[in-house]
Structure 1
Amino acid sequence: MAGRPGSRTGRPPLTERRREATRMEIADEAVRLFVTQGVAATTAEDIADAAGVSTRTLWRYFRSKEECARPLLTAGMDLITERLRAHWRQGGSLAQAFANADDPGLVVAQHVEALRDLVRLCRDEPGLRAVWLETHFDAEAVFAGVIADGTERSERDLVVRLEAGMLNAALRVTVEDWALRPDDPSGPSLGESLAHALRTMTRLLDPEAPGAAAELGRKPMVHRPATDSRTGR
């Protein structure tokens, strides 16, 4: 998850970027193995071998084999966090930040399918579901800090915490809805779904904000009900 407000900004040093790239490669391989051979049958050694790292390196980065998937969950949240910070460096309100959420950079494109597989697995795998929920628990505190810093309020302010909770819930529910929908190339992408959710939050926060009026008049995005791909229900 992105650092707290006031932390170092700008491009991270090469060693840190390499570390994050290694973590993401481990995450991709972990999810691929979880899908192909099952979580229970996948060992930390399997994941390390697939990612081309030692088991010792894997344990240096992660607390459990399920935790290996976490970078896939945090990548999009890190991008949104930085987007909020960048918006407030230019001046603007929370509602305006959400209203301008059409940037496809909200989603790390090369990891979208792995993310979909992971969220689907979270339904039936308690260990992965715990990582998913813990990731969002941690994200809410970060969002509160960023909102507070950008709007010059205290992160302990109840309204700030509610706004952070709304953002966090919107992201979680939207990603779950997208992942659990039947595969349909003509349906909205994850980026489009997230942008729609954030613009909807704009309407709730400030109906007069730029972009909110357009969202009020927008035809709702059509989503097929999420179903279990194994049972069709």
Structure 2
Amino acid sequence: MTSDRNRTAPAPGRPALSATRRAATRREVAMVAAHLFAENGYTATTVDDIAAAAGMGLRTFYRYFAGKEDVVAPLLAIGTQAWSDELASCPPELPLREALGHSYRTATAAALADEGIAESLLRPLLRAATELPALRATWLRVQHDCETRLIPIIAARTGRAPDDLDVALAAAMANTAVRLANELWATGNHSGSPADAVDACLARLAAHILL
């Protein structure tokens, strides 16, 4: 008989299989919801519609999401999570301003391609997240989580402590520049790709502040 003590534990830093499956299911349902929102509008789409299209019951849906406003959070977070991961792996000799822009462009392009998210779906999703109060709360929560992840990464790159005020300010400003760039692009107020809009906002930030 094998004791509990001798059973193989998950490797440190790696999510348990159940957590991985849960995250994958959340992304799948989020994608279904995003398509419904793009086709029918957020207001006209119900939780019943999303659950039915995803092939799950309402009880199952609510095990994964708090409500309709929460269902797109996994998609909105894909780019921010990929960005922070890519920034952490950027060569340390790359200046912070360059590392921020390079990591965003590289990470989001790969993440969107991996998830099969086209700009024709991304734009209305981001526009809805910007304009609709219920979705904006989710969007801002995702951005806050991203800012929190940026702090230790920027601290490590600059050789400062994570509780250094300049580190917190740099993380907040960089994250806000990216958020505003995506919102401008979503509303059609910037030509090019979201990454082009991010480069433009980071350049303006660098010209006037400290990045």
Task: Give the TM interval when normalised to the shorter protein.
Answer: 0.7 to 0.9
> Using a 3 Å threshold, how does the CA distance of structure 1 residues 161 and 188 change in structure 2: closer, same or farther?
same
Correspondence 1:146-185 to 2 at 5 A: 146-181=153-188
* 1:132 and 2:139 matched: yes
> Using a 3 Å threshold, how does the CA distance of structure 1 residues 100 and 117 change in structure 2: closer, same or farther?
closer
SS at match of 1:71: helix
Equivalent position to 1:62, from 56, 65, 79: 65
Q: Per-residue deviation at 1:44?
A: 1.9
Q: Which amino acid aligns with 1:97?
A: A
Q: Deviations over 1:20-74 (max 9, x none)?
A: 3322221122122223333333222221221223333322222111110111211
SS at match of 1:46: helix
Aligned counterpart, 1:145: 152
> Using a 3 Å threshold, how does the CA distance of structure 1 residues 99 and 136 change in structure 2: closer, same or farther?
closer
How far apart, CA to CA, are the structure 1 residues paired with 2:186 and 2:131?
14
Q: Is the 8 A contact 2:101 2:198 kept in 1?
A: no
Report the TM-score, using the length of structure 2 for normalisation. 0.76
Aligned counterpart, 1:194: 198
Aligned counterpart, 2:42: 39
SS at match of 1:119: helix
Q: Which amino acid aligns with 2:107?
A: G
SS at match of 1:131: helix
Q: Which amino acid aligns with 2:193?
A: S
Equivalent position to 1:23, from 19, 23, 26: 26
Gaps of 5+ in 2: 1-11
Q: How many residues align?
A: 194
Structure richer in helix, relative to its length: 2
Q: Per-residue deviation at 1:202?
A: 5.1
SS at match of 1:87: coil
Gaps of 5+ in 1: 1-6, 207-233
How far apart, CA to CA, are the structure 2 residues paired with 1:195 and 1:8?
32
Q: Deviations over 1:82-112 (max 9, x none)?
A: 1111125x55542342354484432314223
Report the TM-score, using the length of structure 1 for normalisation. 0.70
> Using a 3 Å threshold, how does the CA distance of structure 1 residues 39 and 135 change in structure 2: closer, same or farther?
same
Equivalent position to 2:99, from 86, 97, 100: 97
Q: Is the 8 A contact 2:87 2:103 kept in 1?
A: no
Q: Deviations over 1:207-227 (max 9, x none)?
A: xxxxxxxxxxxxxxxxxxxxx
Aligned counterpart, 1:222: none
Aligned counterpart, 2:6: none
How far apart, CA to CA, are the structure 1 residues paired with 2:52 and 2:107?
31
Larger RCO of the pair (alpha carbons < 8 Å, separation 6+) = 1
Aligned counterpart, 1:114: 121
Q: Which amino acid aligns with 2:210?
A: L
How far apart, CA to CA, are the structure 1 residues paired with 2:180 and 2:23?
26
Q: Per-residue deviation at 1:123?
A: 4.3
Q: Deviations over 1:129-167 (max 9, x none)?
A: 111122212222221132123333222211011101111
RMSD of equivalent CA atoms: 2.9
How far apart, CA to CA, are the structure 1 residues paired with 2:98 and 2:38?
39
How far apart, CA to CA, are the structure 2 residues paired with 1:23 and 1:166?
30
Q: Which amino acid aligns with 2:192?
A: P
> Using a 3 Å threshold, how does the CA distance of structure 1 residues 144 and 127 change in structure 2: closer, same or farther?
same
Between the aligned residues of both structures, percent identity stands at: 35
